[in-house]
A and B are shown apart, each in its own frame.
Chain A
């Protein structure tokens, strides 16, 4: 079988070379090993009324479902919403002390994701220390929210506290340390390095889709964007400038699991000051109710025109 396949391929190539004509699709596309039988359940998120202040310009928007991770043709659920699927955490109970209930289940103030990526196993976790003055974020690169799934409800933190940034060698006063356009926490979640200025522009998979684009669409940076599963999993962004001068964003095909219930939708919007070239980050979140799958949720842009307040906002649909 293999021989005849190659023979056919050889003839095809020889024929192309001989005639000098390039076929429209250019190559023999290898089969994708990964196939998804059913398209995932999705939601559509709309954000209206966005307008940056006069001296600012819009840079980028990331709308991600933090409860879901796409990888190797599968959507896996992350109860802690921290970029680590439950299956991964459960596989590392013994060596990392991980639990699925919280993003900081092993060491107070240090996200499990940071411990995992930095390779800090349970034997050395006790040496980590977060000074009281560094337990929050100076840059808005941290969500705080009330998790009502526990009784009583608990305050949870998702993102990078100042001591986390300092520990991994980042400047705690910057939300995008390498200036590549991806906020530091998202960069960690996407499997990139927040200190490397070039990795956002690369296309690891060689498919021409840059890592930043995949990070935005919620698909893995080290897999082909045009594989069948990733085509199904990639969320689609549309930006519309309205007649009143505001901008509306629509993010469709955002995959959800469990019918959407308790899925954590995170918003990261970045702006640039045209004169100082300083960049700004505004974050918000919305936790989907049961039965959200297939629905559209519309929100008004949460920050005021100066874009300073409020930040890290829990949103309410219009």
Chain B
């Protein structure tokens, strides 16, 4: 096999010899720029890398329990009891609260780190209210959704949540371990909190209110990259939503279309809200219908709860025959995030296609060629000539020149007020370095100056890393991409040109006497059952001098659900006379 490989190379060489004599003519041989192309040669890149191993998905899980405290929970309510009665559903709260305590205690063992899980509780009967404070009813409605129902927030401490809200709400029937205590609500002494009507609308509006307030707080305390939130609303009820009807005295049932649909839609719509949407991985309204042991489920009640959870993209479950609510069955499914290879980019940091369509030497790799830097007065060997933390190319594109004054004096550098909120480090000579939140090579200040997205290496989501796209003078900010355009009507679009190592600033027909890259990607043996390993070989990577730095950017994307890309990069310099650069998996960080 190896003999064959060598002989094929020889024949390739011979083929070239014969082609020169047969097919080269003066027209196609005219180089664009004699000076630059005189040094043009080509190197090979050989890299092995693997996709990341699956990792447990991380999200903030926020449980919001909406618990029914209507009078029908009581024994003897509407007595005398008759068979098929809808009352006497949960006289001591054991069906609602016993499993809730167990669930909240058990959640700590969830693989999700405990501080990412939090809880909140809203009670409802004639109105929604904060647990333990039935006197503090707040009459909120879908028409007034931002009224503050409760000062409660999501509690990340399970014990605090149980002791502050759940146990007092349960009238102290049982302690944290489920042992019986002084229980006020018994079969003969019903819970004083289980009184009144069953106002679903009020409960849902209170849930909307709580979630809205939480999202506002999350949006202002944004950490990057954000850990998304999964809101799990669990509405626990014995059915029959109705509110007092004053005239004539009695009650009015609530209906899905009139009373409930709107507020559920409001809650779900937060997912597509431009401000809140990016914070949310999911919102679901789930229902748990516990009906009295003596009766079969009321079909109207069950249907209504199914309708509500279908709109709320959640589960609808029935707990009959006196059984307890199984909260665990509503828990979000824990899963592993798997990654697929999405794209691979190879760049020579020291040979850039400049805006004029010429391949030029860029010794410092800032994207501004040496020749241009010497014309503009900046230092071709320093990426940030004036030491203000913003590279020469960024300054050139943003301000038209790489330094505030042509002498590049640090005393006269541009301070870029837009970066005032960032905390750069400054060295002894006063040179500023801003943090790199994304790994594409543009720092946080440069992203701000250029209207990019700080934490994102690919602000417009086209799988071209921001700095690479910026160097090619293509738009990289959110909402704009030139990747798949073809302004010159060439055989290749911009994306394909960048893959092939061609300039995007001129027509392909004007690029003469230049080898396009040839890339081969092959699978190699994986390191684990759930990742993929690859061998990448690129031939004809253009180089202009001896010390070229080759950068490979590997982009992976999640297989499903999250749609989150991640970037790993590796840089290696071409050594001496070698015509190849080799990368190993551990090079990629």
Contact = CB atoms under 8 A, between A and B. Distances in A.
A and B from one complex: yes
Given A26-B515, A28-B9, A131-B306, A119 B539 contact: no
Interface stretch (A55-63, A146-154, A187-195): A187-195
B559 A193 contact: yes
A168 interface: yes
A16 B16 contact: yes
A72 B523 contact: yes
A24 B538 contact: no
Contacts of B42: 13, 17, 27
A26 B15 CA distance: 11
Contacts of B580: 6
Given A21-B20, A206-B521, A15 B310 contact: no
Contact of A22 (B496, B515, B536): B515
Interface stretch (B120-128, B146-154, B341-349, B566-574): B341-349
Interface string B547-568: 0000000000111110100000
B267 to A, nearest CB: 15
A29 B495 contact: no
B516 to A, nearest CB: 6
A117 B557 CA distance: 12
A208 B520 CA distance: 11
Contact of A23 (B15, B28, B44, B342): B15
B333 interface: yes
Contacts of A17: 40-42
A157 B139 CA distance: 48
A31 interface: yes
A134 B315 CA distance: 11
A1 B5 CA distance: 10
A14 B334 CA distance: 57
B16 A224 contact: no
Contacts of B336: 119, 121
A16 B534 CA distance: 30
B451 to A, nearest CB: 20
Nearest to A113: B560
Given A20-B31, A205-B519, A206-B538, A133 B282 contact: no
Contact of B560 (A12, A29, A114): A114
B450 interface: no
Nearest to B462: A198
Contacts of B19: 21, 23-24
Contact of A193 (B316, B484, B560): B560
A112 B329 CA distance: 21
A273 interface: no
B387 to A, nearest CB: 37
A9 B579 contact: yes
Contacts of A29: 518, 520, 539
Contacts of A191: 340, 559
A93 interface: no
A221 to B, nearest CB: 9
Contacts of A168: 560-561
A201 interface: yes
Nearest to A5: B6
Interface stretch (A78-86, A122-130, A250-258, A299-307): A122-130
B521 A26 contact: no
Contacts of A5: 2, 5-6, 9
Which bucket holds chain A's interface residue count? 35 or more
A117 B340 CA distance: 10
A180 B117 CA distance: 36
Contacts of A318: none
B255 interface: no
Given A23-B19, A124-B335, A8 B9 contact: yes
Contact of B16 (A9, A23, A222): A23
Contacts, number: 216
A6 B581 CA distance: 12
A87 to B, nearest CB: 12
Contacts of B23: 24
A204 B342 contact: yes
Contacts of A114: 560
B496 A203 contact: yes
Interface string B281-316: 110000000000000000000000010011001011
B102 interface: no
B584 interface: no
Interface in A156-196: 166, 168-169, 188, 191-196
B189 to A, nearest CB: 38
B534 A131 contact: no
B49 to A, nearest CB: 12
Given A202-B463, A204-B341, A224 B520 contact: yes
Nearest to B491: A208
A193 B313 contact: no
A30 B580 CA distance: 13
Nearest to B282: A169
A160 to B, nearest CB: 11
B521 A204 contact: yes
B427 interface: no
A90 to B, nearest CB: 12
A63 B56 CA distance: 36
Contacts of A205: 519-521
Contacts of B329: 127, 129
Interface string B538-550: 1110000000000
Contacts of A6: 578-580
A169 B31 contact: no
Interface in A1-56: 1, 4-6, 8-17, 19-34
B163 interface: no
A308 interface: no
Contact of A28 (B315, B539, B559): B539
Contacts of A15: 13, 16-17
Nearest to B56: A119
B262 interface: no
A207 B580 CA distance: 20
Contact of B534 (A1, A132, A202, A222): A222
B520 A30 contact: yes
Given A23-B16, A26-B516, A29-B539, A194 B560 contact: yes
Contacts of A120: 333, 335
B10 interface: yes
Contacts of A25: 12, 15
A6 B515 CA distance: 19
A223 B519 CA distance: 11
- Report the 8 A-B pairs with minimum CB-CB distance, sorted nearest first: A119-B336, A206-B519, A23-B16, A27-B539, A117-B559, A27-B518, A205-B521, A195-B563
8 contacts: A5-B2, A8-B10, A16-B515, A27-B540, A127-B328, A131-B309, A198-B483, A201-B495
Given A26-B515, A208-B496, 8 more contacts: A8-B9, A19-B24, A34-B522, A117-B560, A119-B57, A131-B316, A133-B306, A199-B342
